[in-house]
Amino acid sequence: MTHSEWVWGSLETVKLREPLTALLYVKRLFQAALVALAACTCAHDGEQDPTQPNADNADPKTTHLIAPEITLQRLDQPQKRDRSMIRKKRRVSPAGARQKGANFERELVHKFREVFPDYNVRRGLQSRGGDEVSDIDCPVFWVEAKRGKRPSIRRALDQVTSDAPKGRIPIVVVKDDRKQPHVTIPLDDFLEIVGRWWEGENQ
């Protein structure tokens, strides 16, 4: 029996009951095909197969001993990850997170001072005179500043809405890492601001 006849006969009779059995059969068939290809190449060139004296009379059970070795990993075993290729996640300490938030509040103070130059805009570090203050002490708005990788905007908006006193518009100023800051404001308050601006423009 030639290698090609054994390969095709194995394909017709093999029963693949489990994934591991399928891998072993594929390995055996592929190795036998390589040996058969090498024998055909030598026969076409008129040379003797260097791997065995007579390729047509070779025992299929021993072809895996002379065929190129092929390594197949079992599917039921977890794959080992190359730790050198894994990018280590940088964890921010609580102190680092607080420092990042404080720097962002200082940045907001400078921006709000440009809009309210006559008001002493400052950070709401602590309650003054027993009254609660927002993260940025400024007129008109009650500011909640959030800085981080993925701040929870909905939670921050709920908090600032419940804390804002009457006459102050609650807003959340959020800055994700390596992103531009943006403002979140309730729709009714936004429309009120736009309406006042529109009236001023049409007077």
Q: CATH topology for 98-201?
A: Trna Endonuclease; Chain: A, domain 1 (3.40.1350)
The string of pLDDT tens digits covering residues 17-65 is 455 566 666 777 777 777 777 766 655 555 555 555 554 555 555 444 4
* Calpha distance 143→168 (Å, rounded): 9
The string of pLDDT tens digits covering residues 101-160 is 899 999 999 999 999 999 999 998 754 554 578 999 999 999 999 998 888 899 999 999
The string of pLDDT tens digits covering residues 100-110 is 889 999 999 99
- The pTM assigned to this predicted structure is 0.53
Q: Where are the domains of the chain?
A: 3-74, 98-201
